[in-house]
Chain A
Amino acid sequence: AQKITQTQPGMFVQEKEAVTLDCTYDTSDPSYGLFWYKQPSSGEMIFLIYQGSYDQQNATEGRYSLNFQKARKSANLVISASQLGDSAMYFCAMREGKGAQKLVFGQGTRLTINP
C-alpha cells in the first residue's frame, strides 16, 4: 500500500488565487511527521512546512499552511495568494517515528500558476 498518496498529478491556478494540494498518508506509528517540499525546475528540494502528529494546531509558514486532519490521515498544503514563482513540483513526505528518519515521498503534484 502507498504510504503517501498525492492524487493530483497537475494543477493549474490563476495568479493571486489560493490553491490546495492534496496529500493522504498511511501509517500505524502514533509518532510521525509530515513535510512538504517544493522542487522548482532547477531541481533543488526546498523545505516548506512541517506538521508533527502530536501538534494540536495546523502548521503555518507565511503563505503556506497545512490543513491537518488526523482522523482522515490527510495533510493538505494550502498556498494563499499564489505567485508565478510558486510554479513547481510539490512533494508530500512522511517520517515515521521520532528523530532523524528516512522520508517516504509521494509522487508529487505539478503546480502551474497562470498570469
Chain B
Amino acid sequence: GAGVSQSPSNKVTEKGKDVELRCDPISGHTALYWYRQRLGQGLEFLIYFQGNSAPDKSGLPSDRFSAERTGESVSTLTIQRTQQEDSAVYLCASSLNWGTYNEQFFGPGTRLTVL
C-alpha cells in the first residue's frame, strides 16, 4: 500500500532562495504534520493540520516558514529566503484522528542543503 511520500528527496539551494517541499499523506489520514531534523538531533515539530481546523503553527521557527494543505491531501512547506541554518531533513507524517494509537506514519523526508 502507499505510504507517505515526499518530494524532492534532496534539494540543494543557494542562500536567499525560496524552496517548496511537498508531502502526500496516506489516503484517508486527516492529520498531517511537518517536522525538522537537524543532523544528529531529534525531530522538531513545525506545523500540524487536522481536517478543516486551523493549523497549529506553534513550531514554525520564523515567518520565513509557511505551509498549506489542500483539503485532506497534499501539503507544501515553503521556506522563503533560505538560510544555512535551515539545512536539515524535513519529515512529513500523517495519522488518523481516531483509534488508540493515532500512530504517525512518516515519509522518507526531504534533505535540504542551503549553500
Docked pose: A99 CA to B95 CA in angstroms:
10
Residues of B within 8 A of A102 (CB): 33, 45, 48, 56, 59
Q: How many A-B residue pairs have CB under 8 A?
A: 59
Q: Does residue A100 face the partner (Cβ distance < 8 Å to B)?
A: yes
Out of B48, B91, B101, which one reaches A45, CB within 8 Å? B91
Residues of A within 8 A of B98 (CB): 99
Q: Does residue A29 face the partner (Cβ distance < 8 Å to B)?
A: no
Q: Does residue A69 face the partner (Cβ distance < 8 Å to B)?
A: no
Closest 3 CB pairs of A and B: A100-B31, A45-B106, A105-B42
> Are B31 and A44 neighbours in the complex by a CB distance under 8 Å?
no
Interface size class of A (residues with CB under 8 A): 20 to 34
> 26 A-B Cβ contacts within 8 A?
A35-B104, A43-B89, A43-B108, A45-B93, A47-B104, A47-B105, A50-B100, A52-B100, A91-B42, A91-B43, A95-B102, A99-B97, A99-B98, A100-B97, A101-B48, A102-B33, A102-B48, A102-B56, A103-B35, A103-B45, A105-B42, A105-B43, A105-B44, A106-B42, A107-B42, A108-B42
Residues of B participating in the A interface, judged by any CB pair closer than 8 Å: 30-31, 33, 35, 41-45, 48, 50, 56, 59, 89, 91, 93, 95-98, 100-106, 108-109
> Are B108 and A44 neighbours in the complex by a CB distance under 8 Å?
yes
Residues of A participating in the B interface, judged by any CB pair closer than 8 Å: 4, 33, 35, 37, 43-45, 47, 50, 52, 91, 93, 95, 99-108
Residues of B within 8 A of A101 (CB): 48, 102
Out of B89, B104, B108, B109, which one reaches A103, CB within 8 Å? B104
Residues of B within 8 A of A35 (CB): 101, 103-104
Q: What is the minimal beta-carbon distance from B90 to any residue of chain A, in angstroms? A: 12
Docked pose: A91 CA to B43 CA in angstroms:
9
Residues of B within 8 A of A106 (CB): 42
Docked pose: A101 CA to B41 CA in angstroms:
21
Closest to B91 in A: A45
Docked pose: A99 CA to B103 CA in angstroms:
10
